[in-house]
A = this chain, B = another copy of it.
Amino acid sequence: MIAWSTLLEKLKELSLLEKTLALLSWDQETYMPEGGARVRSEEISLFVKFWHEKMCDPFWDEVLSSFSEREDLSSDQKRILEVFKRDRDKEVKIPTDLATALATAVSEAFGAWHEAKRKSDFMVFLPSLQKVFDLSLQKAYALGYERSNAYDAFLDLHEEDLKEADFDPIASETLPIMQGALQAIQEYGRPPQKDFLHAVYSIEKQKSLCEWILPRIGFDTRRGRLDISPHPFSTTLALDDVRLTTRYDENDPLGSFYGVLHEAGHGLYEQGFLPEWEHTPLAQAVSLGIHESQSRFWENQIGRSFEFIQWIWPTMQGIFSPLLDSITPEQMFRAVNEVKPSLIRTEADEVTYGLHILVRYEIEKKLFRGDVGLSDVPALWNDLYREYLGITPPDDAHGVLQDIHWAHGSFGYFPTYLLGNLYAAQWYATLQRTLDVPSLVQKGDFAPILQWMRENIHHHGRRYEAKVLVRRVSGEPLRPVYFARYLKERYEQVYGISLPLSGEKMEAATS
């Protein structure tokens, strides 16, 4: 009989390998000189291979079958086995040849994507993308899917058990919410004043502000740190070593700040797993959607609220003095909540962000169904931007080539961004039932809010799937109506207008 401690030891080995891979990547994005790139990618490949070999180790078949008959396991232990088995099955099912071919195709596609973006020509990217797509289809088949439901394979990889059939109604319900809000704001037609942000804000001062906010929202800087990278991210090198990055632009003082709030939301989640489950799935994130709900919550629900701006105002004014001396918190509140259709997803406000996502979702769905081919994508992209956002990309660089995800083979990833926004709004509504969030935020007293997140979400790790978790936390499945209500409250306050959001479901939620 295999001891539980042996199993934990083996899980730990896998976890240490994963964390070392995370360090290799973190360094690559932050400090590595350009000369390190070649060997670094070889190291990453080698450790991915080691990890794959360890996942496929026949030892696990024995462990999993031996434990499947045991009656003496706690529900947490059973869940660990269940989740690990699911992860492992995905790893084992993909033939090594296919994994290698896909890795090579992805690596080529990265280069092609960069070149295509520089030349603003999708056709330069097309052949490599086609390879990645075709091999991704093979991957879906290997995972047990068919052409008719191949897209579900990719949704499931990022959001366990999510299917097109789950996301379709969410998409249909969220689309008119966003379009309705956008239309009303555009009809109102008076953008907030933002000229005071168009000055030179010293990067040192931006850094001070970012370092200042982290511990105040509860990010433990003895168990993590903030660095700089061209593409901001957060990564976990250990339960007690969570790394965040941001980028600084002296003409965009709040880009770094809201970037840090966003990444800190991810980081707070990772710092919030329970030490007793370290190196097991119970100290891992449920899904990308739930992860994104944490970042969005701190960035938007908290960080862009009027109460937050009021609270941080003396500090922000002080650090950037004299640049903001004649500005009021009301002006800043409106400036950081401007809604405006734009071409680039990563620069979008929270009303239009989901529209960017739905463009990509529609395209991915059609691609996997075989309704369109890859060469149709640029035209489809532009049509959808016109339809959803009322604007047309002037070229491929500002359109279909803006995201790296497809080059990476990360199909099915985008929907999790929208889910994150929706979950965040639902958490906020639930939290309001027991805590007076605006009053706490106005005092800078974030501890009770973080504690609620810890107990309701962080501490569970992957104990529950997202679908189950949202019901446990809020008593309901995921409902876009909370997002609608949140947008209505926030943007009526920002613009001083009445927003006619999707009526019927709104009522039900407010009652």
The copy count of this chain in the complex is: 2
What string of 1s and 0s marks CB contacts (under 8 Å) between A13-32 and chain B?
10011011001100100011
Determine whether the beta carbon of A35 is less than 8 Å from that of B227.
no
Does A39 belong to the interface (CB within 8 Å)?
yes
Neighbouring B residues of A19 by C-beta, 8 Å: 39, 43
Determine whether the beta carbon of A240 is less than 8 Å from that of B36.
yes
Determine whether the beta carbon of B20 is less than 8 Å from that of A238.
no
**Which positions 232-248 of chain A face chain B at CB distance < 8 Å?**
237-241
Neighbouring B residues of A50 by C-beta, 8 Å: 50
Q: Which of B23, B31, B225, B237 contacts A225 (CB 8 A)?
A: B31
Q: Which of B16, B36, B40 contacts A43 (CB 8 A)?
A: B16
CA distance A23 to B46 in the complex (A): 15
Neighbouring B residues of A27 by C-beta, 8 Å: 23, 27
Q: Which of B17, B39, B47, B241 contacts A35 (CB 8 A)?
A: B241
Q: How many residues of A contact B (CB 8 A)?
A: 35
**Most chain B Cβ neighbours within 10 Å, of A32, A34, A224, A238:** A238
CB distance from A318 to the nearest CB of B (A): 22
Q: Choose the segment among A142-150, A215-223, A335-343 that binds chain B (4+ C-beta atoms closer than 8 Å).
A: A215-223
Does A72 belong to the interface (CB within 8 Å)?
no
Does A38 belong to the interface (CB within 8 Å)?
yes
Does A42 belong to the interface (CB within 8 Å)?
yes
Does A33 belong to the interface (CB within 8 Å)?
yes
Neighbouring B residues of A35 by C-beta, 8 Å: 220, 222-224, 238, 240-241
Given A23-B27, A34-B222, 8 additional A-B pairs, CB 8 A: A16-B43, A33-B225, A33-B241, A35-B241, A36-B240, A36-B241, A39-B237, A39-B241
Interface residues of A (CB under 8 A from B): 12-13, 16-17, 19-20, 23-24, 27, 31-36, 38-40, 42-43, 46-47, 50, 220-225, 227, 237-241
